[in-house]
Chain A
Amino acid sequence: MSLLEVRNLSAGYGQFQALFDISLNLNEGAAIAVIGANGAGKSTLLKSIAGVVDVIFGEIIFDGESIVNLQPHERLNRGIALVPEGRRIFRSLTVDENLSIGAYSRRQGVWNRELVYEVFPMLAKLTDRRADNLSGGEQQALAIGRALMSNPRLLLLDEVSLGLAPIVVKKLYEILPRIRATGCSLIYVEQDTNQALSASEYAYCLLEGQVSLEGKPSDLSREQIASAYFGIGVNK
């Protein structure tokens, strides 16, 4: 069953249009990847699903209902949580308080403080540490944990690997199956295509705000991806 359906979405910031006629579909429990170069509109797509970007045209259907006119906090209440690009943890709050803000909506589910600390053991020792004193990997773990505290049905992950050491990225990606096992659907946005493609069943490639390629990762050749990613060759 379709959990999220984006239909002919155009969106942007003020006078600047970043997305043109994007359509995508995500089934309940599935994981999809959105890849593309810097500036292709990946983050804008996630932000318009989460509700912080103005939709110019099109529909976003979540769990059978249009959410285009809902405020970000109302979308979170329905189960859409974003792990933002650049982590954006609350710097002056402690680790524990960041998680509490994640649980602000009081949505019920399997996720709670104990489970987050179990899944991210590196955070468990740092509960009273101010978040701006964390390493990049710890901050990313906190950003994911914070989003999980809202017990999302759909988790939007924006550039989880950005600026992190490969070993840390690997560790974070190892945790993602545990998140999916709770029934949560995922959308990964990455510039680093390999990581995202290997963790998902379906992929969309964005180029200049449009879908330039889509398909199952196993069906997509490296050449196809390269041309859709950079906008060179036959596919564009």
Chain B
Amino acid sequence: MNWFNAIIQGVLVGGLYAMYATGLSVSFGVMRLVNLAHGDLAVGSAFIASTFCLATGLSPFLAIFVVLPLSALVGIGLQVAVFNRVVGVDPSYQIVATFGLSIAIQNVLLQQYAANPRALNIGEFGNRSLKLVGDDVVIGLFPLSRFVVAVLVLVLLSLFIGRTRIGRAFRATSDDPDIARLMGVNIRSIYAVAFAIAVTTVALAGIFNGMQTQFSAADGPALLIYAFESVIIGGLGSLWGTLCGGIILGIAQTIGAEIDPGWKQLIGHLVFLIVLLVRPMGIFGKDELR
């Protein structure tokens, strides 16, 4: 058993989970919306990237630059067409609307791509690695870059929310949407921006996932669970908490896999349940969040 290696791999996977979770954290933080189609949006983006690569023969890394702007538009479109109608009313409408969207996306993907798994081929780069501590720890170059990108995304996002005019309006809307409107904030456009960010980040996560493993049309809900668990472990409303939550989940899974490959998921879920029992507001969660 190589515990140190397991922890390192867990941290790197955690970066991906954090990226899944970021959008969920943003959409819940700003508009109290729990989007059950979050994972399906990730899978959908990976399929679109795959289609782009097959059609053009270009690298999946280039597909990112095509898919991300598209996801931002999809986010705005969904906000305007669907979510504006369910924000701020009885939460059961949100559940029905987003669950319905989830089913719709899965079925469109099934129809379009059938049930066969796909992958995004990044070629040689996927096999490169760094060896540390006398070959005991092997760090894949791709997981490492993915982790760096995830941290970078979170840094940019927290600067955006902490320092900019729109970011301030995000936080004000999160505190009290009615008063934010009264102070001149057009909360519908704030929601649209928030959702554009949510879909863009989860699209990036979906593509990164597809560069390492296979994905298929029905994978969305499983990804949603990882995102949920990361957000809850880290604490709602805290971006750095989300990163931390993702890393804890990642480490729990790799350590579980080190004990017995069948325990990978189980240990992850157990750690999530323990956090939920011991500290329901999450590790970085503040008590004030409703």
Interface of A toward B, CB cutoff 8 Å:
50-52, 71-73, 76-77, 81-82, 84, 88, 90-93, 97, 100-102, 104-105, 107, 132, 146-147, 150
Task: Given A81-B182, A100-B165, A101-B172, output 14 extra A-B contacts at Cβ < 8 Å.
Answer: A50-B182, A73-B187, A81-B183, A82-B182, A88-B178, A88-B179, A90-B171, A90-B179, A92-B288, A93-B171, A93-B175, A101-B168, A104-B183, A107-B184
A82 and B176 alpha carbons, distance in the complex (Å): 14
**B80 contacts the other chain (CB 8 A):** no
Q: Are B171 and A132 in contact (CB under 8 A)?
A: no
User: Could you list 29 examples of A-B contacts with CB < 8 Å?
Assistant: A51-B181, A52-B178, A52-B181, A52-B182, A71-B186, A72-B181, A73-B182, A73-B184, A77-B184, A84-B182, A88-B178, A88-B179, A90-B175, A91-B175, A91-B176, A91-B288, A93-B171, A93-B175, A97-B168, A100-B165, A101-B169, A101-B183, A104-B168, A104-B183, A104-B185, A105-B184, A107-B184, A132-B288, A150-B184
Q: Which residues of B contact A90 (CB under 8 A)?
A: 171-172, 175-176, 179-180
Q: Which residues of B contact A73 (CB under 8 A)?
A: 181-187
Nearest chain B CB to A139 CB, angstrom units: 13
Residue of chain B at shortest CB distance from A72? B181
**B174 contacts the other chain (CB 8 A):** yes
A102 and B169 alpha carbons, distance in the complex (Å): 10
Residue of chain B at shortest CB distance from A102? B183
Residue of chain B at shortest CB distance from A150? B184
A226 and B183 alpha carbons, distance in the complex (Å): 35
Q: Which residues of A contact B288 (CB under 8 A)?
A: 91-92, 132
Nearest chain A CB to B238 CB, angstrom units: 11
Q: Which residues of A contact B168 (CB under 8 A)?
A: 93, 97, 100-101, 104
Residue of chain A at shortest CB distance from B188? A71
Residue of chain A at shortest CB distance from B167? A97
Interface residues of B in 136-168 (CB under 8 A from A): 165, 168
Q: Are B185 and A101 in contact (CB under 8 A)?
A: yes
Our pick among B165, B175, B179, B181 for the contact of A92 (Cβ within 8 Å) is: B175
Q: Which residues of B contact A88 (CB under 8 A)?
A: 176, 178-179
